């Protein structure tokens, strides 16, 4: 695995550019090829989500996503003018964070572009966000932590889909006072294909993020080796978080209001705002 990683890291280095001031950057279309996206339109959706994440982190969009024009060959010597982006390392980090997690190269890219201060920067800007954008930030973090939790659970012996469903249910039951995933789903009045995480407010999402991250850490520290033990660990971690909420006198997760809009709707609305003609990303070249 180390040999594969070294090879893939080299690919990211090879497409790195340096401007006249010595600042490093990457062209989005070069990154698209390395990340194995065949179609620009599919990769551009990832860029849209990354731009939204950049906005929520409090950074300037023009600084990290400089829209540029470039000429590319389309065959027989002909050329075409296309849109591209000059991406900072931070912008690349956001792109790979929003890429297809099933791609091994995405996971390697996340490591390559990792910025240790990212979470602190989000935290600094978090309180300035409105509720919808707070939900987007925390839901994005949960997606990443859920991947880590799934890996830790698998290493602990949670192998089949049925076993993983039981494992997930254990965590929810601990945090929600015995309510199962189905109970929470029904309590929120959701349709069959709707996910409960997409219909949580920021406070409820944060409680679940803590449940997920602490369980992932505990599974690794204790070197849990059976599905039954993993389920018990998940339940106990979640139960302790619930007890802490009771001790602090805060509202328990099952009693928090269910937002009317799903995360997907909010994301689409925010991306449309970014695409508004009044929001200009093009820089003079």
Asked whether the predicted pLDDT for residue 1 surpasses 70, the reply is: no
Residues 144 and 200 in one domain: yes
Q: Going by C-beta distance under 8 Å and a sequence separation of 6 or more, which residues neighbour residue 27?
A: 15, 17, 70, 84, 85, 86, 87
Structural domains counted in the chain: 2
pLDDT for the residue numbered 277: 55
168 and 240 fall within a common domain? yes
Residue 285 falls within a domain, yes or no? no
Same domain, 113 and 164: no
Contact 95, 47 (CB under 8 A): yes
More confident site: 60 or 206: 206
237 and 145 within one domain: yes
Q: CA-CA distance, 53 to 172, in Å (whole number)?
A: 27
Note the pLDDT tens digit of each residue in 56-65.
888 889 999 9
**Sheet bearing 16-18, strands edge to edge:** 16-18, 24-27, 78-87, 65-75
89 domain-assigned? yes
Q: Report yes or no on 248 lying in a domain.
A: yes
Q: Quick one: 39 and 67 in the same domain? A: yes
Q: Which has more pLDDT, 270 or 221?
A: 221
What's this model's pTM, rounded to 2 decimal places? 0.63
The pLDDT tens digits of the residues spanning 178-202 come to 999 999 999 999 999 999 999 999 9
User: Could you give the CA distance from residue 168 to residue 146 in angstroms, rounded to a whole number?
Assistant: 10
> Does one domain contain both 144 and 243?
yes
Of 118, 149, 169, the residue at which a domain comes to its end is 118
Domain hosting residue 110, numbered range: 2-118
Residue 274 domain flag = no
């Amino acid at each position: 695995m180390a040999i594969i990683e070294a090879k893939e890291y080299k690919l990211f280095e090879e497409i790195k550019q340096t401007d006249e001031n010595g600042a490093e950057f990457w062209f989005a279309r070069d990154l698209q090829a390395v990340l194995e996206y065949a179609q620009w339109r599919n990769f551009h959706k990832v860029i849209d989500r990354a731009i939204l994440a950049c906005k929520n982190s409090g950074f300037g969009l023009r600084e990290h996503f400089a829209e540029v024009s470039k000429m590319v060959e389309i065959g027989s010597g002909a050329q075409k003018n296309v849109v591209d982006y000059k991406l900072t390392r931070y912008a690349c980090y956001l792109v790979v964070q929003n890429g297809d997690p099933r791609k091994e190269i995405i996971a390697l890219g996340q490591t390559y572009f990792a910025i240790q201060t990212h979470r602190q920067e989000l935290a600094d800007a978090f309180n300035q966000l409105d509720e919808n954008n707070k939900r987007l930030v925390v839901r994005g973090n949960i997606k990443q932590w859920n991947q880590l939790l799934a890996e830790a659970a698998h290493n602990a012996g949670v192998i089949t889909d049925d076993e993983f469903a039981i494992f997930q249910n254990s965590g929810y039951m601990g945090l929600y006072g015995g309510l199962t995933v189905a109970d929470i789903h029904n309590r929120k009045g959701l349709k069959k294909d709707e996910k409960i995480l997409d219909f949580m407010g920021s406070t409820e999402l944060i409680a679940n993020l803590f449940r997920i991250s602490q369980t992932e850490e505990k599974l690794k520290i204790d070197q849990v080796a059976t599905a039954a033990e993993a389920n018990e660990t998940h339940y106990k971690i979640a139960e302790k978080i619930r007890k802490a909420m009771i001790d602090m006198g805060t509202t328990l997760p099952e009693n928090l209001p269910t937002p009317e809009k799903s995360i997907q709707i909010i994301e689409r609305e925010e991306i449309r705002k970014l695409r508004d003609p009044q929001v200009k990303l093009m820089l003079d070249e």
